[in-house]
Structures are given as C-alpha cells and as structure tokens.
Structure 1
Amino acid sequence: MLKKKFLKNFYSTYAEQYILASLILYNNSWNDIYYFLNVYNFFFKNHQIIFSIILEFLNLNISFDIYSICNRIKINSNFNFLNYLNYILQKIPNPYNIIYYAQIIHNMYLLRKILLFSNNTINNILNSEKLNINEILFSIEENIFDIVRDYLKEKNDSCLLSNIFNKYFLNKNFFKNFYISTGFKNLDNIIKKISGGDLLIIAGRPSMGKTSFSLNIAKHVSEKYSLPVIIFSMEMSSNQILLKILSCILNEDQDFINKNIDSELLNNFDKNYLKVMYSLKIFIDETINLNVMQIYTKCKFLIKEHGSLGLVVIDYLQLMSGINPTQNRVLEISEISRSLKCLAKELNVPIIAISQLNRNLESRVNKRPLISDLRESGSIEQDADIVLFIYRDEIYDSKNLLNKNIAEIIVGKHRNGPIGTTNLYFFDNKSKFSDF
C-alpha cells in the first residue's frame, strides 16, 4: 500500500475546503458540479463526512448551514467540526470558481487511483508465484476503463440549444458527416439514416442473413464515407468474414471463390472490384467472449490511430460477456445492451449489434418476428434506437418460387421515426442484399 507521504502532491486541502465552504454559503452552487463530484473524490476523511451530510440535505432539497450539518454529525466525534467549519468559511471569498476547484479535486482523485492501481499491479507481478498475463492485462484494462469513465463524467454534457444549432446546422459538413445511410434506399426512406450514438439491433432466426446484412452495411459505410469500420466477430473467423465480403464485392458464389482462390481467379475479375477491396477500411476482431470494456478500448485505439470511426458491428450480442458476470443471463444481457448504448453515445459512433430471437415464434402460424421475440431481451428493446428484423419466407416455404431471394426488413422499433417493412433481394450464396 502506498504511504500517505507519496500522495502529498496529489490532493489539495484548499480546494476541498473551498468546495465545502461554497456549498454551505451558497447551497445552489451544487448545480454546477453535481454531475461529476462525489464523496470519494475528497482525500480527507473529515471532508468526506461533511460532504456526505451536505449531499443528504441536497437530496432532500433542504437548506442547510454549519449548525444543521454539525447536528447530523455524531456527538462523540473527536473532531470539532463546528470550529473547523467556521474557520474555512472565513477564508473562502465567493463560489464563482467552484467548477475550477471541483475539477482539481476530481483530477487529483483520478491521479491517486492511477497511483494505487499501478502500485498494486507492480506488487502483484513481483509477489505472484505464477504469473497469468491474461489476468494482469484484464485487470489493467478494467482499471483504465474505470478511470477514463470517471474522467469523462467531468465533461458537462448540457449545451445551450442555440449553441447546438450553431455547431451542427450551420456547419456545411454536418449532413455529410453526422449521418450514415444503410446503402438501401427503401430502408433509408423509413429510418432516415443512422446517426452517431445510435444503437441498432439487427435480429432474426438462424439462416435469415443477419451477418450478411450487417456486413453489407459495413462495406457501404467504409466505401461511401471512407471511414474505418470495426467488426467484432465472436462467431465467425476473420477468413469467413473475408469470404462473405469478397463474395459480395465480386458478385460471385462463395463456394466458387473458396474452391478457386488459389488459382488465377482474381486475375479474371475486373480490377475495379479489387480496388474496392483494398480501399475498404474494415477491421475484423475475432476475439471471443468480449465485454463492453474491451470493445471500448479497441474502438478508442482505432479512433486514436485513424482519427475517426464510422461504424461498430458486433456479431453477436448474446456471445458477449458482462463486465460483472452473474448467474442471471437476462440481467447480464440487459447490462450489456445498456452499456452498448452508452458506448455509442460516448464515442458518437453508431453501433450495430446482431441479436438472436427466441424459438417461440417457430410455433406461430405467422413467423414474422416481434419485439417480444428478442432472445434474453431484458432491456434490449428499451436501449435500442432502431430494431430491424430480417425475415425470409422461403426458409419456411421453399416450394413457393415467389418467395425466392426475397428478404423482408421489418423496422420493429424506431425511436425517432416511423416503423414499417421493406423488401430486399438477398442472394445467400453471395452474401449480398440489394434494392428491388
């Protein structure tokens, strides 16, 4: 454990006193710092006690002063809180710099967290008889994610409406950069494109083409907008994903490509097709059992390396693990879906998460999916901005030639617009969807 003397440069007595005095003198000043400051940000125990009592009054919407605070502190305390509060009230002039001093306290707290977890990591490495590099890296990743999440709380997310208008609608590049289309005109007419921060769920029973549909959108986004796209494929290998994308680009059967890939196949195709393949900024991560924290870290790395990120695809949601796994899988999936929505907003990037459906619909006469069919749904339908179902009647009635190669895209939920259904052609052997 780090000794206190090593932390002497990582706390500010004056800043902590300033915050406490400001809140006592001007109770409403709490509105400026509520979104990121908490009890544990304070270094001194007595300051934590005072601040926790202040929070009680604030939560109850009760006015308070030093006397009401001291009355709530245990009588047998060895510390004279009344004298101390009188002392700090005399040295604090005004509350107008409360945000500045709150940021000092918060940042010092984060630095202490970094020091403590770094020290613990070093001790674990030096004292462990058998080192497990995966556990060590996971612990480092988890702690960093926790610290970054705390740091981001410090940003005030509230903006004046007129400022938002100036920032976006008076920006000539707003409409070009802020939205992405799916690449399918009829579907875009319903959902009016996807914006940064959206969580899009693509669901369907097995063999409906969920992965192919998501890859078609990913290819379109990377090709049209020249933006990096990352695909987290926990079910298929990177080679299988490559084959699907290559088949879609070359408009050729996967089996044919797979059998002839070692021959002069590629030389016989139009070189423009190959230019498309080499121009795509699509990254494939086939790590299994990913959690949201790991996805966050990998996305942040891509943004740092390439400056932006156009789309995140997760195949599929039920193969993810929670940061804090529980025996209740429904609750765990609910935590994952909420975290994915928060991640989309934080990165300002749309996230597509593929989801399975329950088997219950197989017993219905009309097997078209409903929101209630989402497997281990929990809060998926609540967290998602858009839910798309893929339904192909030919899976259930292969003899009806009218249904061949027809996929219904059902917009089951649309937070900011209408719902509806549109039809696309789907060529399963080419992993390719196209407009009618």
Structure 2
Amino acid sequence: MNAPDDFPQARVLHSIEAEQAVLGGLLLDNDAIDRISGLDAAHFYRDDHRVIYGAIVRLVSANKPADVLTVFEQLQVEGRAERVGGLSYLNAVAQNTPSAANIARYAEIVRDRALLRDTAATARKVLELVETPGPMKGAEIVDKAQGLLGQLTQVGVQRGPKMLYDLMTDFVERVDERYHSRVEPGVPTGIGSLDRALNGGFHDGNLIIVAGRPSMGKTALTTDIGLNMADAGRSVLLDSMEMSDQELVARAAANRGGIHLSALLSGRLGDGDWPRLTHAIQLMGDMRFAIDDTPAMTLLEVRTKAKAHKRKFGLDALIVDYLGLMSGGEEKMRTQQIGAYSRGLKSLAKELNIPVIALAQLSRKNEERPDKKPILSDLRDSGDIEQDADVVIFVHRPEMYDPNNDELKGYAELLIRKNRNGALCDVPLLYRGAVTKFDEWTGPLPMLSHGPAVRKRGIAADL
C-alpha cells in the first residue's frame, strides 16, 4: 500500500549532492579549504568521498596543488584510485560544480547530516542500554545517556591550537568590555571584600571548597552567598545532606529579615519581628533558590539532579553541603571515595560551566597550633580535595578558641589558602550568628590572645 501524499517523509541523513559540491569546490579552488572550518573526512557519508577528501587535505597541507590529476595520482600511489571510481568520477565531480563560492554552505550541510547520523547512532546505543539486561540501574542509564547525547554537541567544535595573535583580539575586547562596564568576571558572592580577593567572585567551571571545624559557620556562609546570588537574579541549587529544607528556610528568613533564628525556630516572635518576616518572605518570593535535602546523595544523584535543574530553571551555582555526607562509589577506602567525589564535582563544574561550592570538614590538627588557623593539610579524609579544588577557603572564628576575649565577638576570617587565579589572603568579616549572616568588618582588627590579627602586607591589606 502506498503512503498518502501528505504523509511525512523520513528525514534524509545524508546529502550526496552537498558532499560532491564540497569536493568539486576544493578541486577548483584549493584556498576554499579555509572556508570549511570544522569539516572532517568522517563527516562524509560515502566512503569514496571520505577517501577523496582525505587526499585533497593531505596535498593542500603539504603545499601541493590538489586538482583532478594530482588527486588521482595521489590515490594511485596509495592504491585507492579504483576505490573512488577512478579519474572519470573525479572529473565528473569537478565538472558538475560551477564554483567554490558557496562551499561554506555545502560544508555546513555535510556537517549537519553527519550530526543527524551520530544522533541516530547514539539513540540506538541508548535503546541498547535500556533493553540489554545488566547491573546498571535506571538512574545510571539516564546519566550515561545524557553523557552520550552531551558529546554530540562537540561535533564540529574546533579546539585545536590557536596562535597568540589570533586570541589577542578577543582578549582585548573582553578587557575593554570589563573596563567600560566596570563589571568583573565571575559570579559575585555579594561580599565585596571576598569578591575583590577572588577577582570578581566565584568563576564558572571552578570547584570552590569551603572548609572549617564544626560550628564555624560554613553552612551559614555558603547559604548567605547563595541567597546573595539569587537576590541578584541568578539561579542557585543547594544540596543539603545535613540540614532539612525547613531548617534552611528558617535560616534564609533570619538572614534576609534580620530576625533571630532562635525566635523563628521557637515561634516566640516579638511584635517587631512579624513585619520583618513579611519583608523576608517578599524578598525571597521571586528568588530562584532551590533546596534539595535528600540525605547521603551519591555523585550520580548530584549530577543528574543538577543537570535536570539547569534544563528546567537554569543554574548559575551549585552548593553541596557537604562532601563527607555523600555516599556510594566503587572505591573501598573512604579517602578514595572522597577523592572521587571531589573529582566528580570538578568535572560537573566544567560540564555545566558553573561554580560548584562544596563544603568540607577539617581535622583537629589546627587546634594543636598556637594560632589555631587551619592549613591545607588539615582537609579531612582526602588530599585529593586540595588537588581538585580551584579555590580553598577556610572559615575561621577565633572567638571559638578564646571565648572570654570581647574583642573577638563576631570576628571571622575567610582564609583563602588556594586560589588558582589570584593571591592568597585573609578576608576579615563580621559574623552575626543570631541571623546567620556575614557582613564586612569595619574598624581595626581585634587583638588575639597570641598576638594581633595581622593581614599579609600587600595582599589582604588592599581588599
């Protein structure tokens, strides 16, 4: 039975005419090869076309002419002349192409059809994953399928070497744009001194580790930063494996409304607190700040949920609280598991092109030192965290070790101990624990029991 005339036809996954036009254009004008950037022999559907294109590219790359005769001779030397139909087919291809004027468009068609064929092949692989019995779970198959489809976006993308002078034009344009807009690159944290220390804030593709001993304010800091980002119109996802979503909502309301967290948790609000709570609710009403309080997430769950969230709502920053509470993985030793999580989060940051902020715990080693300040080797469970991170920030509150020193009340330091694209320094802040918020520190630095809190000259002094 014939299909009706209006029945949609299957999409054609190749264009012989476009492939012949590309080959003919190159045979007529070798310089046209500069106008087909990204075209590869593998993009051609027909084998003989792949062979001819390869021969043309090799001749041109060797600064030799590539016309009908020279290409035929090259193929004869390689023993593949008859494989492509000989001299008669090469002549036909050249004669049926009027000029190389539209070769860029022909090449685009060839690449597009190749992408369609790759997509169809990937779809078959995904179907095979689904239908073939095996140990993979449904979520793992979905993640594998997303990875396979994600690779298709790289078809035709050129990531080869580029000359410095070719890169300078784009670089100067970016510098000029930043100069006139006065906007620094990066995702601002909303804490001015921290943004200046990090050259504009957290940067896309970076893994930022925020670490500290218990009760230092790691979650308060990252939640505060996440709210600042959302308040500026960005989309933030917080994966909280330690606190419930209701606890985090209470912290957010305290932070934005300036209400004591204890009052919100106990329900003992004063008359003046209700207007502030209403104001906080209004502020947060339009924020794209999402909370997922699933406990003990696996790396696969973090990846899958982040990708899905970006597709649905956009995603400018991901916060993972915290590394030590993640689960799963094939590694047997805990240090190896944590290392796998940090590598996976770094990979996710690059894949989604967003900053990923992960919280981590510290060992007690810093408490054995006179100044109590943590160092990189104090990172708990795995040295891979230090290696994988682009930025490592320690949250340090001296008042926790010297509670009788009134000068230290609320004094906090963000110790930047790794920064791939900037200086290392200490950023002094005021921590208002009652409302779980960090503000700029004003005035002189407090005196510590072991000596004054002195910032490194020429680094943090300029913040």
Give the alignment's TM-score, normalised by structure 1: 0.70
Map Cα deviations across residues 122-150 of structure 1 (whole Å, 9 max, x no partner). 67768889997545644543443333x33
1:184 equivalent among 188, 191, 198: 191
CA shift, 1:112, in A, is: 2.5
C-alpha distance in structure 1 between counterparts of 2:304 and 2:54, whole Å: 30
In structure 2, the CA distance between the partners of 1:40 and 1:7, relative to structure 1 (3 Å rule), is farther
1:114 equivalent among 94, 107, 119: 119
Map Cα deviations across residues 194-237 of structure 1 (whole Å, 9 max, x no partner). 376363614213423222212111212222x2343333435544
C-alpha distance in structure 1 between counterparts of 2:57 and 2:341, whole Å: 31
Residue 184 of structure 2 contacts residue 199 of structure 2 at CA under 8 Å; is this kept in 1?
A: no
1:354 aligns with 2:354: no
CA shift, 1:193, in A, is: 2.5
Which residue does the alignment assign to 2:437? 432
Counterpart of 2:358 in structure 1: which amino acid? I
Which stretches in structure 2 are left out of the alignment for 5+ residues? Answer: 1-8, 442-463
Which residue does the alignment assign to 1:220? 228
Residue 212 of structure 2 contacts residue 394 of structure 2 at CA under 8 Å; is this kept in 1?
A: no
1:240 aligns with 2:251: no
C-alpha distance in structure 2 between counterparts of 1:422 and 1:226, whole Å: 25
C-alpha distance in structure 1 between counterparts of 2:27 and 2:324, whole Å: 49
1:343 aligns with 2:349: no
Which residue does the alignment assign to 2:46? 44
Which residue does the alignment assign to 1:298? 309
C-alpha distance in structure 2 between counterparts of 1:220 and 1:301, whole Å: 21
CA shift, 1:9, in A, is: 0.5
C-alpha distance in structure 2 between counterparts of 1:155 and 1:183, whole Å: 34
Which residue does the alignment assign to 2:456? none
Pick which of 211-220 and 100-109 moved more.
Answer: 100-109
Give the alignment's TM-score, normalised by structure 2: 0.67
Map Cα deviations across residues 325-350 of structure 1 (whole Å, 9 max, x no partner). 88876477446414413532xxxxx5
C-alpha distance in structure 2 between counterparts of 1:101 and 1:334, whole Å: 42
Which residue does the alignment assign to 1:259? 266
Residue 207 of structure 2 contacts residue 349 of structure 2 at CA under 8 Å; is this kept in 1?
A: no
CA shift, 1:85, in A, is: 4.9
Which residue does the alignment assign to 1:3? none
Counterpart of 1:150 in structure 2: which amino acid? Q
Counterpart of 2:14 in structure 1: which amino acid? Y
Counterpart of 2:346 in structure 1: which amino acid? S
Q: How does 1:136-215 map to 2 (within 5 A)?
A: 137-147=142-152, 149-150=153-154, 153=157, 161=169, 165=173, 169=177, 174-175=181-182, 180-194=187-201, 197=204, 199=206, 201-207=208-214, 208-215=216-223
Which residue does the alignment assign to 1:422? 427
SS, match of residue 212 in structure 2? coil
* Greater length-normalized contact order (CA 8 Å, ≥ 6 residues apart): 1
Task: Provide the alpha-carbon RMSD of the alignment.
Answer: 5.0
Counterpart of 1:221 in structure 2: which amino acid? M
CA shift, 1:399, in A, is: 5.9
Map Cα deviations across residues 368-395 of structure 1 (whole Å, 9 max, x no partner). 34556667565976773x5433223345
Which residue does the alignment assign to 1:16? 19
C-alpha distance in structure 1 between counterparts of 2:179 and 2:283, whole Å: 30
C-alpha distance in structure 2 between counterparts of 1:205 and 1:170, whole Å: 34
C-alpha distance in structure 2 between counterparts of 1:48 and 1:360, whole Å: 63
Residue 143 of structure 2 contacts residue 304 of structure 2 at CA under 8 Å; is this kept in 1?
A: no
In structure 2, the CA distance between the partners of 1:99 and 1:373, relative to structure 1 (3 Å rule), is farther
Residue 208 of structure 2 contacts residue 358 of structure 2 at CA under 8 Å; is this kept in 1?
A: yes
Which stretches in structure 1 are left out of the alignment for 5+ residues? Answer: 1-5, 304-308, 345-349
2:107 equivalent among 99, 102, 119: 102
Counterpart of 1:14 in structure 2: which amino acid? E
1:229 equivalent among 220, 226, 236: 236
Residue 366 of structure 2 contacts residue 375 of structure 2 at CA under 8 Å; is this kept in 1?
A: no
Residue 227 of structure 1 contacts residue 310 of structure 1 at CA under 8 Å; is this kept in 2?
A: yes
Map Cα deviations across residues 243-278 of structure 1 (whole Å, 9 max, x no partner). 322232344454543332899997475532332232
Give the share of equivalent positions with the same residue, in percent.
20
In structure 2, the CA distance between the partners of 1:76 and 1:67, relative to structure 1 (3 Å rule), is closer
In structure 2, the CA distance between the partners of 1:292 and 1:399, relative to structure 1 (3 Å rule), is same
In structure 2, the CA distance between the partners of 1:338 and 1:56, relative to structure 1 (3 Å rule), is farther
Find the structure with the greater CA-based Rg. Answer: 2
In structure 2, the CA distance between the partners of 1:406 and 1:90, relative to structure 1 (3 Å rule), is farther
C-alpha distance in structure 2 between counterparts of 1:400 and 1:219, whole Å: 31
In structure 2, the CA distance between the partners of 1:124 and 1:163, relative to structure 1 (3 Å rule), is closer
SS, match of residue 410 in structure 1? strand
Pick which of 45-54 and 156-165 moved more.
Answer: 156-165
In structure 2, the CA distance between the partners of 1:406 and 1:142, relative to structure 1 (3 Å rule), is same
